[in-house]
Amino acid sequence: MNHNISIIIPVYNNPKTIKQVVKDALLLNIFLIVIDDGSDIKIETIVEQNNNLTILRHDKNQGKGVAILTGIREAKKRGFNYVISIDGDGQHYPKEVLKLLPLLQDENIVIGNRVFKENVPNASKFGRQFSNFWIWTESGKWLNDTQSGFRAYPISILELNLTQSRYDLEIEVLTKHLWSGRTIKEVEIEVYYPPKGTRVSHFDKVQDNIRLSKIHSRLFFLNILRLSNIFRTR
């Protein structure tokens, strides 16, 4: 087992996929932390117990961002330096974790840049480019897949002033990590998109897009203030 790295899987109401995702992840011999974010069916009743696995549960759904931070705090308690977050909906192949490992150094974030092939909704393609553009305006760094949930995080992101709780935290953490002077790297990964109408997603097209718009706007204006202060001190 790699004693410096843990895999975390935030999951909410994906009973048909989580068992196989966990099974595949355990084959990597990396300690696994599953965060059940208030699922209707408790994950512990679906997934078999394993010495290389712990399951944490929120009694009520609190959002993906909160679940990720819960997993990172647990990893810190256990002495890990990095976590790799993958989704529990079956889109991510746990074996792709191996592509991220060589890049885990200097407390950088590593994003799994999804290779889009068949069955990818046009909305997802547009959303990725839209998000990439806004991260660039907020940080000056162009990234190719700022919406990917397949990421490696250093434990040090807990030191950032993170305020969001849902999908918007995954945006906030990238910009604030870059503001802290650290780097973000990317590596291409393969993903699976099931046929239209069969994928289970908890992304609310109205509420979550509003949240994302709000955090992008806030970060954009904070960046203007940040840059103004930098120039004033020179």
> Looking at residues 22-33, what average pLDDT do you find?
97
Our count of domains for the chain comes to: 1
Out of 112-116, 121-125, 128-132, 156-160, least confident range: 121-125
Cα separation of 111 and 152, whole Å? 7
> Looking at residues 197-215, what average pLDDT do you find?
71
Task: Look at 187 and 124; give whichever has higher pLDDT.
Answer: 187
Residue 172: pLDDT band (50, 70, 90) is very high
CATH code of 111's domain: 3.90.550.10
* DSSP of 45-103: GTSPP-TTEEEEEESS---HHHHHHHHHHHHHHTT-SEEEE--SSS-B-GGGHHHHGGG
Mean pLDDT of all residues belonging to the chain: 90
Indicate the pTM of the whole model. Answer: 0.90
Range of the domain at 31: 5-232
pLDDT per residue over 131-171, tens digit each?
Answer: 999 999 999 999 999 999 999 999 999 999 999 999 899 99
Cα separation of 208 and 22, whole Å? 27
Q: What is the pLDDT of residue 228?
A: 78
Q: What is the pLDDT of residue 139?
A: 94
Task: For residue 195, give both structure tokens.
Answer: 């046929």
Q: Which residue has the tokens 């700022």?
A: 146
